[in-house]
Structure 1
Amino acid sequence: MEERKIPRTLEEAYRLRDEAETIEERDFYQEHVYRLRREEYRARGIRTEISARRRERQSQIEFSREMFFLEVNEIVSNRPHCTPEEEAEARRFATRLDNHAFLKQLASPHSNAVDLYRRNYLELLRLGKPPAEAYYISRVMGLAGEEEFRRTLENVRNSGYPKGGRLSYLIERSAIQIRDLPGGMILILLTFFASLFAFVWVSGGEWQTASLETTILVGLGLIAAGVLMVISAVFIFTFIRSMNK
């Protein structure tokens, strides 16, 4: 009997389960999906001793996730000149978005976050957006109600970007990319306070009587520190504003 690979991450477990060729193999990886999900729960302090009713609810969630990925694959595969790489990319970003939505719904069970994020992603794929762009616009849209969602979708259809235009979208997209990094928010805060310290330290120095070259270097340092502070402040503000997205 061929030895089966033991998945190390939840995404890998889902992939191996979906690629299974037999029912026995699929059930094997499904158990690893549950195991890795339970480990994620324990790491977040969530109880895993759930009742039979909640187990049934978990099965429904797993089924809805499968249907979501099937719909993503159907939309992308029907595009002209679709490549296997594009299908894999669509699934990868769908997984990232679904994990984000699931954690949002755990934090706020009545937010309906999973359904709303899936709606965002699927509609943007239907508009012809590349998977990466569909993912980031979905995150920028956040938990929008139906009316707001339709307005935002119309903006995307007309201009290619959500409300606020290209610059606003690029800032929010960059903020999301940094947030997705381990310790991204800490990095931004450290940059802000380091820039503030450098600005205060340099501006308080006795450089008024220094040579022209020194004055120019100090001036450039002050400008650089000020620019970094402004950029960091914009990202911090964007983080705070997008906490519910």
Structure 2
Amino acid sequence: MEEKRIPETLEEAYELRDRAYSEDERDFYQEHVYRLRREEYRSRGIRTEISSRKRERQSAIEFSREMFFLEVSEIAATNATANGAAAGSSEVLQAQAQARAYATRLDTHAFLKQLASPHVTAVDLYRRNYLALLRIGKSPEEAYYLSRVIGLVGEREFQQTLATVRERGHPGGRLAYLVERTAIQIRDLPGGMILILLTFFVSLFAFVWTANEWGGKTAGEILLITLGLILAGALMLVSAVFIVTFIRAVNK
């Protein structure tokens, strides 16, 4: 049996973990990620509690909230400097603040998912999505929506999807991605789901009412009724697509 490499740096541990071909190998290198990350925190004077570590392992969350946000800030700073911003500049600080803001939104969504389904490691998976997307250069906004669209998939499917995102900029078809992203944006609005349901039923009522207005009308009025039917039908179809997208996203 081939002896596993012992990583000496955190970057090497991440690389070996991401290239692992089996769950056992990935878990082996994940332990070294924890070890090297703890050593880095200790060198910075950040306390790490054993109880917190146990909670992480029991709920299969890769990083504690503190670890996750520190990781997000570091990647955001690296991306900003790679794009020409000076280290410690306002551009870097702004990039870090934006990355943390979207990380907060994603973490809130992930914790609600995990509360609804405790057996699903939603927090772990959403954080994995977000960090990996930031590492390949996606903006915090793109990484947030892509993380939501990709959802709770296994490691193999995630790596395949990540390769597609690198190649095309989005998972699957572009139209499907834009529809799902728009649905997420609407759903994130206060009362967004209620708004879509109201739109569907109002457009359905308008369609039925307009369809009953044919009798004894002039040619001009019939044209207006036809346009009204087309508009109501299109609005009903669009809202129905969003409703179906919402339902599909329940498991994501």
* TM-score (normalised: structure 2): 0.71
Instruction: Report the equivalent of 1:177.
Output: 185
Shift of 1:209: 3.5
Instruction: Report the equivalent of 2:136.
Output: 127
- Aligned with 1:167 (options 168, 171, 175): 175
Q: Distance in 1 between matches of 2:250 and 2:55?
A: 27
Q: Equivalences for 1:87-98 in 2 at 5 Å? A: 87-98=96-107
SS, match of residue 143 in structure 1: coil
Shift of 1:160: 0.5
Does residue 243 of structure 1 match 2:250?
yes
Tell me if the contact between 1:199 and 1:222 (Cα under 8 Å) persists in the aligned partners. yes
> What is the identity, as a one-letter code, of the residue corresponding to 2:209?
W
Q: Distance in 1 between matches of 2:73 and 2:237?
A: 41
Instruction: Report the equivalent of 2:94.
Output: 85
- Aligned with 2:159 (options 134, 150, 153): 150
SS, match of residue 78 in structure 1: helix
Q: Distance in 1 between matches of 2:130 and 2:227?
A: 44
Instruction: Report the equivalent of 2:198.
Output: 190
Instruction: Report the equivalent of 1:76.
Output: 76
Instruction: Report the equivalent of 2:209.
Output: 201
The runs of 5 or more residues in structure 1 that have no matched partner are: 1-22, 24-52
Instruction: Report the equivalent of 1:64.
Output: 64
SS, match of residue 110 in structure 1: coil
> What is the identity, as a one-letter code, of the residue corresponding to 2:149?
V
Alignment length, in residue pairs? 189
Deviations 1:55-75 (A, max 9, x none): x849x98x7111111111111
Q: Distance in 2 between matches of 1:149 and 1:57?
A: 25
The runs of 5 or more residues in structure 2 that have no matched partner are: 1-44, 46-50, 86-90
Shift of 1:212: 2.6
Instruction: Report the equivalent of 2:118.
Output: 109
> What is the identity, as a one-letter code, of the residue corresponding to 1:70?
L
Deviations 1:165-213 (A, max 9, x none): 11011010011111111211111111111111100100111x3542232
Q: Distance in 2 between matches of 1:112 and 1:200?
A: 45
- Aligned with 1:220 (options 227, 230, 235): 227
SS, match of residue 111 in structure 1: coil
* TM-score (normalised: structure 1): 0.72
Tell me if the contact between 1:69 and 1:91 (Cα under 8 Å) persists in the aligned partners. yes
> What is the identity, as a one-letter code, of the residue corresponding to 2:186?
I
Q: Distance in 2 between matches of 1:124 and 1:68?
A: 14
Q: Distance in 2 between matches of 1:168 and 1:153?
A: 17
Instruction: Report the equivalent of 2:237.
Output: 230
Q: Distance in 1 between matches of 2:236 and 2:77?
A: 45
Tell me if the contact between 1:171 and 1:235 (Cα under 8 Å) persists in the aligned partners. yes
Q: Percent identity?
A: 65
Q: Distance in 2 between matches of 1:126 and 1:177?
A: 23
Tell me if the contact between 1:140 and 1:169 (Cα under 8 Å) persists in the aligned partners. yes
Shift of 1:236: 0.6
> What is the identity, as a one-letter code, of the residue corresponding to 2:65?
R
